[in-house]
Chains A and B, each alone.
Chain A
Amino acid sequence: MKFPVLSVITFTPIVAAVLILLIPVHRRNETRAVALAAAVFALILSCWVYFGYDQATGGYQFIERYNWLPALGISLYFGVDGISAPLVLLTGVVMFTGVLISWGDDHPHVMAGIQDRPREFFAFLFILAWGVFGVFVSLDLFMLFFFYEIAVFPMYLLIVIWGWAVTREYAAMKLTLYLFVGSVIALVGVLAMYWVQYQNTGLLSFDMLAMESAGFSKTFQDIWFLPVFLGFAVLAGIWPFHNWSPDGHVAAPTAVSMFHAGVLMKLGAFAALRVGIMLLPQGAQTWQWLIMFIAAVAVVYGAYIAFVQVDFKYMVGFSSVSHMGLVILGFSTLNRQGLLGAGLQMFSHGVMTALFFAVVGMIYDRAHTRQIPELGGMSKIMPFATVGFIIGGLVSMGMPLFSGFVAEFPIFMGVWNEQWLVAIIASISIVITAAYILRNIRQVFFGDLPEKYEGHLTDVTVLDKVAIATLCLFMIVIGLFPNFMVPMVEEGVKNVLRLLQGGA
């Protein structure tokens, strides 16, 4: 029997969460050690999944299936394809770096990491990770939804307990309600699909691969595509339902922002693709224009709003809206290049934005402000973090040799094929992004260090450096060797295209 790597990777976080809760409260370092051990284990397994995926064979691999509730056709059905395997790797990476960033430090001037109740923090963070892994590997619609909801509620607690005291209550509730509304609307669609499949084929099953050939009528698809796609895409921060996202990012503690922007938003995009586009392809074709329109608005509008922010974290938050808009824009092309770019962008943006939030968190922990005009000269204090942020900035601008270019170029190619005007409008965002990224790098990291910070600030810790280096590594590797990821995502895209062309 093969090693059930996907179920092990999915259940590692929850087992670790329970273990962490069993450690006595005052044993803080043991708590952190268990968390790190679990994160490293998950990272190794996710690398195994990524590198063990056989690109020559394609399709779904590492398949495991256990009947869970046969009476209603619910099963624990795990498998990854070329689109979800990179996302599993991404989750492993963000989980690992998130634990490092949250380690905590007892230095008098530094309030880095999580000092208050690390036990509960890591437990809730791992419950979140459990849900995320579950969504990426589930091939059963019910279990996908189950894990999707699991990923929603720990966010509330993580933000409300450990978040930024000024806005945390408001932001956490707003975020939870937005996501919950989106997901339950999608749930109605999912249940409707379930019953219509039963009517059409007599099959009572949540198996997504079976549902692909359920023969949903065009009318049905046209009606239900929008609720399902937009319901899930709320979590991807799609305009005009993006409002929760920057507020949530800003209020969340650093590691949660990383998780949230790095992985959770991909969860929304991924579910929208898997359930919305892949199961209701004709509906996707009908509403393609609308999705393309709102995605293009998100791309430009998000970039512009990011440009005018003076709060560093809000800037990064809105840049996420803009970059996730590119992912949705890639989906909306429904062609090979666009989908390929979207798949790559999900990974690239996940790593990049996690890095951004990590660096912003490090600065805030030391300077106790995120107001861009009040900051300056950080490169003198934290050169390593500065280099990391600049690399992230180059990715964000889509510079060649970095992962951002590899991801964004195909998206724009794909959009050009469908509608050249949208490509031109969306490309404005590249200019705006370059403007705000460069301006902020100059203001925050270079120039003079404000006097009040002289002698008070310390460099980032070794653990922080490991986290930054890990994240940068992936951005550069993909930029230099696109073959690291492109062929794999192409395998996944083939499957989506097959469904879009009506093939069974």
Chain B
Amino acid sequence: MFTSTAIASILPEILILLVGMLLLIVEPFWKEEQRRNAGWLTAGGLLLAMIISLLFGQPGEPVTTLGGMVRFDWLGFFFKLLFMFAGAATALLLMDNEKVGDRGEAYLLLLASLIGMNLMAASSDLIMLYLAIETTSIPLYVLSGFMLADEKSTEAGFKYLLFGALTSAVMLYGFSLLFGFAGTTNLYQLVDLFNTGALSPFVAFGVLALILVGLGFKASVVPLHFWAPDVYEGAPTPVAGFLSTASKAAGFAVLVRLFFVLFPEPQLDLAHDWAMTLAVISAITMTVGNLLALPQTNIKRLIAFSSVSHAGYALIGVVALTRLGAASVVFYLAAYIATNLLAFGIVMAFSRVTGLEDLKDYAGMSRRSPWLGLMMLSAFLSLAGMPPFAGFVAKVFVFAAGIQAGYIWLVIVAILNSIIGVYYYLNALKYVYLYRMPDQDEENHPVPMTRPYAIALVVLTIGVILIGTIFAPWFSWSDAAALNLF
């Protein structure tokens, strides 16, 4: 059973576990003021794990390993790399977060949820999938409520827990029904159930809807988005960044695998109806997210609603149910992870110094720290979908996939939405670049950055620009991932 392929298929997870164990062993021996170095250890360990996985753990032809539990293919592998990258960046950003960064548990919880995400992206069995989702969620519940003395953080953790528990229970019910109808929990054997007409369309639809509740919660799709702004606002900022990127992308990874595997032929009635349902959800998600982002005055809530709307854009690729659609979703998520982590990282770096999180507190930010201002410019313009940043290419690919599949109306809705997006992103930049601090002496209020922030933010900014300009390698990886679905 434990062949070299089997080991390779879960190599990243093994390595993450090793990093976690190392952390557990080393951390108690450190003095109080050294504990934040656990962040270096985590980030470095994850980077090393990525390199080792790339060297020794690259998938070949898609195979199923570990008794049918895990699928070893490029789709899972690419997502794993993305998650680990996001985890490393989050670890760096956590380091100087007061009351969080100097406690080893925080990093351990991060690593634990990373293992869960990696398995989510790779699992090919309903049971494995459920376990992976829970492994992802539980550490994140704890992390969101990590700042015990802070009421908002406690509220965030509790709210996230309640929502998460409820939706995953609904999803589990859906899984159990699937097992009841098909007699198997293997994802790849469920195809027949949906494509031979053994199941009445009505029932099939209901079961899928139940499952979508759990995944939609992870991806914060309307109407399952209510937790997102509150949790992002209350949770420690780097954790919010992690929730809005890696955790959301993990939801999408499952969504993509599930629907592309279940509906290999998009012409079928059920597949078509289901794609139409997702299209409507996508349209509603982006519209609601963008409209609610408009009046926000707290920057974390603004990014929270904007990240809801980005789930809507990414869904267009799923709706298309084509190879380009899948590739464009994966590409979109890669671009989005880098961009949104950058945005949250800047919020973190700024509020660590100033303690402020309102949009109006960003007045004069570009004069206080020109480089931080430029990074925020990159992040927000990328979110708005402007070149030469990642968001532009990602959006064009998704739109191209939508038009190819004939969903012109959906693309038009998305375009109208990006116009709303441009408005509020530029509005935020207006504070950064135009408005002055009340007493106009920005020179005396610089925003100093510690080394972990400088490294994380610079790497993310370069990433955002690289994805947006030299997009060929990223796209070919996304395409390789997409190819495994067909």
Contact = CB atoms under 8 A, between A and B. Distances in A.
A352 interface: no
Interface string B435-460: 00000000000000000000000000
Contacts of B377: 157
A192 interface: yes
Interface string B355-395: 00000000000110010001001000100101110001100
Contacts of A142: 396
A252 B476 CA distance: 42
Contact of A180 (B366, B400, B419): B419
A157 B433 contact: yes
A135 to B, nearest CB: 12
B83 to A, nearest CB: 24
Interface in A150-200: 150, 152-153, 156-157, 160-161, 168-169, 173, 176-177, 180-181, 184-185, 187-188, 191-192, 194-195
B415 A188 contact: yes
A469 B397 CA distance: 46
A149 interface: yes
Interface stretch (A65-73, A94-102, A436-444): A65-73
Interface residues of B, number: 37
B370 A120 contact: yes
A146 interface: yes
Given A149-B392, A184-B415, A173 B426 contact: yes
Nearest to B406: A195
A13 B408 CA distance: 36
A25 interface: yes
Contacts of A161: 433-434
A449 interface: no
A194 B400 contact: yes
A21 B374 contact: yes
Contacts of A188: 399, 403, 408, 411-412, 415
A177 B475 contact: no
Interface in A188-242: 188, 191-192, 194-195
A21 to B, nearest CB: 7
Interface in B2-46: none
Contact of A191 (B370, B392, B400): B400
Of the listed residues B393, B400, B423, the one surrounded by the most CB atoms of chain A closer than 10 A to its CB is B400
Of the listed residues A70, A145, A187, the one surrounded by the most CB atoms of chain B closer than 10 A to its CB is A187
Given A25-B370, A120-B370, A187 B399 contact: yes
A180 B411 CA distance: 15
Given A150-B387, A157-B433, A194-B400, A68 B472 contact: yes
Contact of B471 (A69, A120, A168, A180): A69
Of the listed residues B397, B422, B423, the one surrounded by the most CB atoms of chain A closer than 10 A to its CB is B422
A146 B384 CA distance: 14
B374 A71 contact: no
Contacts of B233: none
A169 B430 contact: yes
Contacts of B374: 21
Of the listed residues B381, B396, B418, B433, the one surrounded by the most CB atoms of chain A closer than 10 A to its CB is B396
B479 interface: yes
Contact of B434 (A69, A71, A160): A160
A157 B429 contact: yes
A191 B422 contact: no
Contacts of B397: 72
Interface string A105-149: 000000000000101100000000000000000000010011101
A195 B404 contact: yes
A177 B434 contact: no
Contact of A176 (B426, B475, B476): B426
B415 A185 contact: yes
A206 to B, nearest CB: 10
B400 A71 contact: no
A377 to B, nearest CB: 36
A65 to B, nearest CB: 15
A393 to B, nearest CB: 35
Contacts of A119: 370
Contacts of A187: 396, 399, 415
Given A160-B434, A181-B419, A191 B472 contact: no
A201 B19 CA distance: 53
Interface in A455-479: none
Contacts of B400: 72, 191, 194-195
Given A68-B472, A161-B433, A184 B408 contact: no
A94 to B, nearest CB: 22
A184 B419 contact: yes
Nearest to A150: B387
A105 to B, nearest CB: 22
A274 B427 CA distance: 33
B422 A176 contact: yes
Contact of B422 (A21, A25, A180): A180
A386 to B, nearest CB: 35
A284 B317 CA distance: 33
A184 B404 contact: no
A179 to B, nearest CB: 10
A429 to B, nearest CB: 33
Contacts of B426: 156, 173, 176
A173 B387 contact: no
A166 to B, nearest CB: 14
Nearest to A152: B386
Nearest to A179: B422
A142 to B, nearest CB: 8
A68 to B, nearest CB: 6
Contacts of A145: 396
Interface in A38-96: 67-72
Given A156-B426, A188-B399, A177 B419 contact: yes
A72 B412 CA distance: 22
Given A71-B476, A149-B386, A187-B415, A169 B434 contact: yes
A71 B479 contact: yes
Nearest to A146: B387
Contacts of B366: 120
Contacts of A69: 471-472, 475
A142 B471 CA distance: 13
A421 to B, nearest CB: 37
Interface in B266-318: none
A180 B374 CA distance: 21
Contacts of B423: 173, 177
A392 to B, nearest CB: 32
Contacts of B367: 117
Given A146-B388, A192-B403, A195-B403, A184 B418 contact: yes
Given A153-B381, A191-B400, A146 B434 contact: no
Contacts of A71: 472, 475-476, 479
Of the listed residues A72, A149, A150, the one surrounded by the most CB atoms of chain B closer than 10 A to its CB is A72
A119 B370 CA distance: 10
Nearest to B399: A191
A161 B434 CA distance: 5
Contacts of A194: 400
Of the listed residues A70, A153, A185, A195, the one surrounded by the most CB atoms of chain B closer than 10 A to its CB is A153
8 contacts: A146-B392, A153-B381, A153-B386, A157-B433, A161-B433, A161-B434, A173-B423, A192-B408
Given A149-B392, A150-B386, A173-B427, 20 more contacts: A21-B374, A69-B475, A70-B472, A71-B479, A119-B370, A120-B366, A146-B387, A147-B387, A150-B388, A161-B433, A169-B434, A173-B423, A180-B418, A181-B419, A184-B418, A184-B419, A188-B403, A188-B412, A188-B415, A191-B399
CB-based closest 10 A-B pairs: A184-B415, A69-B472, A191-B403, A153-B386, A149-B387, A146-B387, A150-B387, A191-B400, A160-B434, A195-B404
Interface of B: 366-367, 370, 374, 377, 381, 384, 386-388, 392-393, 396-397, 399-400, 403-404, 408, 411-412, 415, 418-419, 422-423, 426-427, 429-430, 433-434, 471-472, 475-476, 479
